[in-house]
């Protein structure tokens, strides 16, 4: 016996029938409104993304109940995938910060790399992956880089390089919150070591290219007095820390070393799956950081880490809600089929990721939504998994502008005008995205076909 519609459904049916439109058009309208709301109100991405999910569901012809169930399911799916990883990364970051061990890590890097711009780029590149957030890595490096250069222009170059270096590794290397959802959706059994064997050299090549770009645009920032062999970065004025000692600060590196050691243990001894492995190794790193932290740093580090992780996780959960609703609407089958008739299939993941990134500004959100939308579509079968993941990573980099919260953070910390931030932040990242696209297209057409 057919279930009778509820009064709520009867009341809303005329409106949903009128609003129902082509999923591609609904997607464009949703992205446009998310962009406008993000710029106008500057509220938490979680609320703009949830609002976008509701709007898209209704425009695409879904019932209010189906839309809300999709939102709830999407939030739960993303939280289960990222909750442990991001919490552990945030706790490690805050515990290191409480003990001023980021200064020690930068001091260790400086023993082998003498040029401050290279130190800034490498530090951002290295810290973004284990901390699981390039913005957090940048915030932690900010006061340290301030102390390396007193000249404002040269100091700002260091800040830009730390930001761009962090984004390069964050968008390309497994396991980061950007790459994890793409790998899980498209890897098709490919080993993460195989992926990183390509993505790590590519990211280092891009980092070198970015350093050359800054050397050409800001040559004065690279002409510094030669550092003494045993030079250590000055202490931040706000940090009442003991004097740094010569030698490697192994205690500061311990959480990251524990993560590396846990990888073969997870594979060879515990025989964990990919999903279990990434959660396991991050837990090992967090437990190591907690165990080594003195009691005075442990409690505030855990508290601040949990708060910071909550902000990140909820924003990503909002992305999961929107992505799940888009998938449930049938968007992939209808809209992607239309797109492949208009543009070459290799451009579809790149352009889709670029549109989503432009709309809301988060690379993790872009990865989550793009993975949801493309999974199961004809695009996945047409492109090899490795270049497919790189194409989406490339798309997430090409438009890092006013909807990108990192853009405004860099603008505030440097004090530069918008035009200068575009030249030193948006443009280098866009060039990196184009470089990733070229490599991905070359792999697809020259290696995997």
Min mean pLDDT across 261-270, 355-364, 418-427, 436-445 is at: 355-364
Confidence band (pLDDT; 50, 70, 90) for 396?
very high
SS3 303: helix
| Residue 90 pLDDT greater than 60, yes or no | yes
Verify cis geometry, omega within 30 degrees of 0, for the bond prior to 397: no
| Residue 117 pLDDT greater than 90, yes or no | yes
Dump pLDDT digits (tens) for 286-300.
999 999 999 899 999
pTM: 0.77
| Residue 322 pLDDT greater than 80, yes or no | yes
Q: If you average pLDDT over residues 141-146, what whole number do you get?
A: 81
pLDDT of amino acid 246: 65
pLDDT of amino acid 375: 86
**Which residue would you say has higher pLDDT here, 40 or 193?**
193
**Which residue would you say has higher pLDDT here, 243 or 221?**
221
Residue whose structure tokens are 């899980």: 184
Min mean pLDDT across 65-74, 106-115, 150-159, 282-291 is at: 106-115
Residue among 79, 42, 57, 65 nearest 322 (CA): 57
Residue among 322, 320, 319 nearest 67 (CA): 322
List, as one string, the DSSP characters of 375-407. Answer: TTSHHHHHS-HHHHHHHHHHHTTS--STT-HHH
What is the radius of gyration, based on Cα positions, of the chain?
A: 23
Share of the chain above pLDDT 90, in %: 35
Q: If you average pLDDT over residues 244-264, what whole number do you get?
A: 85
User: Angle 385-395/179-186 helices, nearest 10 degrees?
Assistant: 150
Average pLDDT, the chain: 84
Q: If you average pLDDT over residues 5-32, what whole number do you get?
A: 63
**Which residue would you say has higher pLDDT here, 201 or 276?**
201
| Residue 147 pLDDT greater than 80, yes or no | no
| Residue 248 pLDDT greater than 80, yes or no | yes
Dump pLDDT digits (tens) for 45-56.
788 889 989 999
List, as one string, the DSSP characters of 60-116. Answer: TT--HHHHHHHHHHHHHHHHHHHHHHHHHHHHHHHHHHHTTHHHHHHHHHHHH---H
Asked whether the CA dihedral 181, 187, 191, 195 is positive or negative, the reply is: negative
DSSP state of 188: T
Q: Where do the structural domains in the chain lie, given as residue ranges?
A: 22-222+251-447
| Residue 315 pLDDT greater than 90, yes or no | no
């Amino acid at each position: 016996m057919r279930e009778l519609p509820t009064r709520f459904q009867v009341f809303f049916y005329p409106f949903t029938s009128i609003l129902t439109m082509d999923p591609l058009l609904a997607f464009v309208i949703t992205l446009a409104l998310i962009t406008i709301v993000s710029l106008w109100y500057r509220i938490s991405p979680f609320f703009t993304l949830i609002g976008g999910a509701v709007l898209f569901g209704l425009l695409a012809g879904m019932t209010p109940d189906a839309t809300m169930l999709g939102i709830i399911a999407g939030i739960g799916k993303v939280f289960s995938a990222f909750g442990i990883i991001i919490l552990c990364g945030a706790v490690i970051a805050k515990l290191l910060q409480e003990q001023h061990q980021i200064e020690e890590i930068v001091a260790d890097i400086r023993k082998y790399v003498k040029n401050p711009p290279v130190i800034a780029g490498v530090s951002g590149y290295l810290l973004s992956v284990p901390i699981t957030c390039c913005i957090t890595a940048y915030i932690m490096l900010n006061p340290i880089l301030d102390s390396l250069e007193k000249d404002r222009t040269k100091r700002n170059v260091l800040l830009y390089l730390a930001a761009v270096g962090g984004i390069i590794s964050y968008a390309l290397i497994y396991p980061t919150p950007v790459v994890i959802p793409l790998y899980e959706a498209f890897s098709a059994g490919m080993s993460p070591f195989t992926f990183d064997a390509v993505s790590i050299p590519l990211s280092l090549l891009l980092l070198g290219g970015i350093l050359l770009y800054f050397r050409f645009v800001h040559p004065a920032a690279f002409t510094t007095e030669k550092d003494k062999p045993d030079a250590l970065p000055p202490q931040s004025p706000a940090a009442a820390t003991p004097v740094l000692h010569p030698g490697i600060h192994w205690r500061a590196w311990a959480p990251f070393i524990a993560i590396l050691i846990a990888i073969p243990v997870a594979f060879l001894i515990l025989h964990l799956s990919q999903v279990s492995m990434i959660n396991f190794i991050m837990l090992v790193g967090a437990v190591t950081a907690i165990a080594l932290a003195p009691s005075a740093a442990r409690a505030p580090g855990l508290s601040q880490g949990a708060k910071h992780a909550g902000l990140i996780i909820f924003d990503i959960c909002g992305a999961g809600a929107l992505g799940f609703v888009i998938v449930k609407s049938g968007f992939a089958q209808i809209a992607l089929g239309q797109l492949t008739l208009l543009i070459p299939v290799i451009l579809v993941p790149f352009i889709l990721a670029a549109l989503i990134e432009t709309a809301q500004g988060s690379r993790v959100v872009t990865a989550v939504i793009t993975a949801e939308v493309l999974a199961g579509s004809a695009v996945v079968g047409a492109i090899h998994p490795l270049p497919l993941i790189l194409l989406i990573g490339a798309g997430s980099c090409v438009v890092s502008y006013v909807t990108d919260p990192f853009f405004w953070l860099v603008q505030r910390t440097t004090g530069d005008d918008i035009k200068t931030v575009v030249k030193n932040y948006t443009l280098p990242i866009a060039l990196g995205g184009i470089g990733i696209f070229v490599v991905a297209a070359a792999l697809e057409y020259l290696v995997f076909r």
